[in-house]
Structure 1
Amino acid sequence: MLRYPGWLLGYLWWLLKGCYAVARVFLVDARVLLGVAVKIPTVSFSASEQNTTALKEFDQLLRRVFPKIFSSSLVQHEMVGNYSHLLTVPGSEPDLEPYMLLAHIDVVPADEADGWDAPPFSAQELNGFIYGRGTIDNKQSVMGILQALEYLLEQGYTPRRSFYIGLGHDEEISGPQGAVNIVKLLKSRGVKLLYVLDEGLTIMDGVVDGLIGPGALIGVSEKGQATVKLSVSTPPGHSSMPPRESSIGILASAVTRLEKNRMPNLFGHGPERATFEHLAHKFGWPYRMVMSNLWLFSSLVLEGQPDTNAFVRTTTAVTMFNSGVKINVMPAYAEAFVNFRIHSSQTLQEVLKLIKSTISDERVKVEFVSGFDPLPISSYDEDTFGYQIIKKTVHDIFPEVTVSPGICVGNTDSRHYTELSPDIYRFAPSWYKPGDSARFHGVNERISIQNYEEIVLFYFQLMQNSDIRNLPGPRT
């Protein structure tokens, strides 16, 4: 018996409808096409450097492998910002408010020398997994969305509800040319969206101690962000006659104070409370008692691991430290960059004040580099169309999974879409098991072949589930 009855039912449904070619494409070509996509190194190195040759090659790939999408009179395709894609699929009932699916084409750099089991742009298959940069961030969604639409078009599908697909090419560098310009274009046309779905949270299995069975977290918001530069200037000198405190020492002490004096635990002031309330019944004893009373135990349970600690506070990450020019010269200047991910209940200005008060040293210059406030919290009520349709689709494909709202600790292209919709969700049905979080932007990024097939089915089902006028009754 297969682990996911929904997967089997979907496949059988295709066969019963006589869609033999579609089933064959799904089972064989889906993973092949993902592999081809992963092999194209669409790397965003920095805000000023991208592999534009690879982005052009990726565009050619999409046009070649999804002929129905790019030849259909139903689908309108536009290039935005030179390399991003905007697809418009008009519905037969224009009074139904449209929705939008997002994903991004670009990836972060990867070096095989870091210890990859397979070259990061090889899409090599090992033990049922496809290895490569982009397999979970975020080409699995790019290809999954397009393959789902291609399959539907092959069956003569015309939606009742219009929808858009936005594929950004520079999400890893904040989306200034891709997502930002797609939003400007849609805004100029007066588009308002019922809901937006982008990458973000995932299906967690065995990641949270005591949780029985897998849980799917749908991100209803994103944390904000602040990057600050800390610097210290002192008179230079010879290392044979060092002062009591060097520029490096002063700066190191300031950084240590930031790391040791963490931002306050704000559990219950954001959507993280709802996350554990929705999951509480899936915990075994004594975890169930603890999770049902996190107002008392949150500091004990959630602060121990980086994954859960990020849910309850603004996090502090020292990411760059620079100083010194020669082994026997006391450095006149030292600088460090610190990145903060801001909890939903705090503001950027509040965090900047806390940084200065924690350092509390006039010799350390604190400069704001960039940042923004946390994103608005989207509705996850029982009558909210977008959240409930996504939840229903998760249950259709993964019946055994518990669904919960969550907070996305990273940032996505969807943050640019707040003017187009109040309901923005961040979720892709990738399975995360213990240790998998280290693969995100790390070594040995991979996806199981079965999981990628499930992702295609998820989007295939989501497009059809969204094609209704009113929400179905609650799931029993």
Structure 2
Amino acid sequence: LSKQYFYREMLLRFLWLIVAVLCLSRGTNKRVARSPSQWSRTRKAIRIPTVSYSPTDINATALHEFSRLLRKAFPTVFSSSLVQHEVVADYSHLFTVQGSQPDLVPYMLLAHIDVVPASESDGWDAPPFSAKEIDNFIYGRGTLDDKECVMGMLQALEYLLLKGYRPQRGFYIGLGHDEEVSGLNGALNIVRLLKQRNVHLSFLLDEGLLVVDGVMKGLDGPAALIGVSEKGSATVKLSVTSAPGHSSMPPRESSIGILAAAVKRLLALKPETNAFSRTTTAVTMFNAGVKVNVLPSVAEAYVNFRIHSAQSLQEVLDLVDSTVGDQRVKVEVVDGFDPLPVSSYSETSYGFQIIKKSILDVFPQLTVAPGICVANTDSRHFKDLVADIYRFIPIWAKAGDAQRIHGINERISKKNYEDIVGFYFTLIQNCDVKELPETHSGVHEF
């Protein structure tokens, strides 16, 4: 009798185990499947024209609408007892996610809500704020810069909280509203708030470099580049003043000719890898003349330099003076700042290695390498809070895709957006270790 009871009990347990596995499998499938509402939320985010035109000209109405969308799209994030949400400087957002182990130094994820202007007349295949889907791509301003990160971060956190997840290492999510015009209100005020609370971060991850595939000569196969530094910037005004006159009696050198010669001396050939390997020079504005038959008395040009980490702002300015080499050309600095310090990317660097592992968890076929972010982000405002700032977006960029950022036909594939959510979902869980993980192994399920 006891043996019969034993075997019957074992059979029942086995059957319950099968049922449990089946239920778990069904539950997992529900989590993996992408619901139509997710795409609806993402497309709604793209349709809101949160355009920043200048530090004093932003679309406040759109920013308020975007705030309402976030609350509606991610109800668990906004209602969880683990998450403290604050509105900063009227339009930016700071989320503080509590960790169960306060001795672990928190980290921060950064993204921005605002976008640059866009017009359908520029030649878009779909209106830039339509979020129209064409061949499994969603078109619209902000799909690459940077609403895909805003929505991806919060979507990942929403999934985790719904699973009953509680992080061991606390973290912050900062969403700035004016990054495209330097972040002087959004990011700076988030920094001030964190400084008041004596917050120090283990690392910070912001937008930046991409997964490049066939973009750079000499790089075989796709690679994920993590920005460990960010170029500095300088805008220099060159001007020449001369006596006006009639075009029928032109002098040997006009103000335009003198200025053009100076600008020519500043320019250089630009191979595809130029921006990653040196300081770049771009003439962005050239103004002269008021009438076709009048020699202009003043000619002006504005030149923008993106300063490599191996150089300083002062070195570039000294180089401009020596290269122009003409006392008739007045050189004035409009604005500028040095490159950001290089963050650690060694084998013992916690932030870099955690990001690297998370990339390989989602994209196991990639090579991961450090790089220099050629654009500027508002993460530079956080340098007093954290030594290691990294810049990476899990966007797969093929030849020509990088030009879509701030250009026409900005778009993201639905598959790539899922990868973005998966990356942040994985990264948050990977940060729950005190010591660095071993080399890549396993994939988080979401």
Tell me the TM-score normalised to structure 1 length: 0.86
Aligned runs of 1:16-415 on 2, under 5 Å?
16=25, 18-19=27-28, 21-24=30-33, 26-260=34-268, 304-305=271-272, 308-415=273-380
In structure 2, relative to structure 1, the CA distance for the partners of 1:360 and 1:210 (3 Å cut) is closer
**Alignment equivalent of 1:466, drawn from 431, 437, 440:** 431
Displacement of 1:408: 0.5
2:304 alignment partner AA: N
Check conservation: 2:373, 2:391, Cα contact below 8 A.
Answer: yes
- Once the two structures are superposed, residues 308-349 of structure 1 have per-residue CA deviations (whole angstroms, 9 ceiling, x without a partner) of 111111000000111211222211111111000001111100
Q: What is the CA–CA distance in structure 2 between the aligned matches of 1:161 and 1:459, rounded to whole Å?
A: 14
SS of alignment partner, residue 194 of structure 1: coil
In structure 2, relative to structure 1, the CA distance for the partners of 1:56 and 1:168 (3 Å cut) is same
Over the matched positions of the two proteins, sequence identity in percent amounts to 65
Check conservation: 1:27, 1:453, Cα contact below 8 A.
Answer: no
Residue 431 of structure 1 is matched in structure 2 by 396
SS of alignment partner, residue 182 of structure 1: helix
Report the number of matched residues: 421
Check conservation: 2:357, 2:439, Cα contact below 8 A.
Answer: no
Displacement of 1:457: 0.7
**Structure 1 alignment gaps of length 5 or more:** 1-11, 263-302
2:70 alignment partner AA: L
1:111 alignment partner AA: S
1:304 alignment partner AA: P
Q: What is the CA–CA distance in structure 2 between the aligned matches of 1:404 and 1:369, rounded to whole Å?
A: 34
Check conservation: 1:14, 1:20, Cα contact below 8 A.
Answer: no
Check conservation: 2:360, 2:440, Cα contact below 8 A.
Answer: no
Q: What is the CA–CA distance in structure 2 between the aligned matches of 1:243 and 1:13, rounded to whole Å?
A: 88
Displacement of 1:13: 12
Q: What is the CA–CA distance in structure 2 between the aligned matches of 1:451 and 1:326, rounded to whole Å?
A: 52
Displacement of 1:14: 11
- Once the two structures are superposed, residues 224-269 of structure 1 have per-residue CA deviations (whole angstroms, 9 ceiling, x without a partner) of 1111011111111222222222211111111111114x7xxxxxxx
1:355 alignment partner AA: V
Displacement of 1:69: 1.1
Q: What is the CA–CA distance in structure 2 between the aligned matches of 1:195 and 1:13, rounded to whole Å?
A: 40
The higher-RCO structure (CA 8 Å, 6+ apart) is 1
SS of alignment partner, residue 18 of structure 1: helix
Once the two structures are overlaid, the 10-residue window that deviates more, 90-99 or 149-158, is 149-158
Check conservation: 2:118, 2:128, Cα contact below 8 A.
Answer: yes
Displacement of 1:17: 7.2
Q: What is the CA–CA distance in structure 2 between the aligned matches of 1:52 and 1:15, rounded to whole Å?
A: 45
Check conservation: 2:116, 2:406, Cα contact below 8 A.
Answer: yes
Displacement of 1:424: 0.7
1:227 alignment partner AA: T
SS of alignment partner, residue 463 of structure 1: helix
Check conservation: 2:206, 2:392, Cα contact below 8 A.
Answer: yes
SS of alignment partner, residue 362 of structure 1: coil
Displacement of 1:178: 0.6
In structure 2, relative to structure 1, the CA distance for the partners of 1:435 and 1:105 (3 Å cut) is same
- Once the two structures are superposed, residues 278-328 of structure 1 have per-residue CA deviations (whole angstroms, 9 ceiling, x without a partner) of xxxxxxxxxxxxxxxxxxxxxxxxx632xx111111000000111211222
Aligned CA-pair RMSD: 1.7
In structure 2, relative to structure 1, the CA distance for the partners of 1:14 and 1:22 (3 Å cut) is farther
Check conservation: 1:197, 1:425, Cα contact below 8 A.
Answer: yes
**Radius of gyration: which is bigger?**
2
Displacement of 1:15: 6.5
Residue 267 of structure 1 is matched in structure 2 by none
Q: What is the CA–CA distance in structure 2 between the aligned matches of 1:235 and 1:97, rounded to whole Å?
A: 64
- Once the two structures are superposed, residues 14-68 of structure 1 have per-residue CA deviations (whole angstroms, 9 ceiling, x without a partner) of 96372455334x3533332221111111111122211111111111111111111
In structure 2, relative to structure 1, the CA distance for the partners of 1:255 and 1:81 (3 Å cut) is same
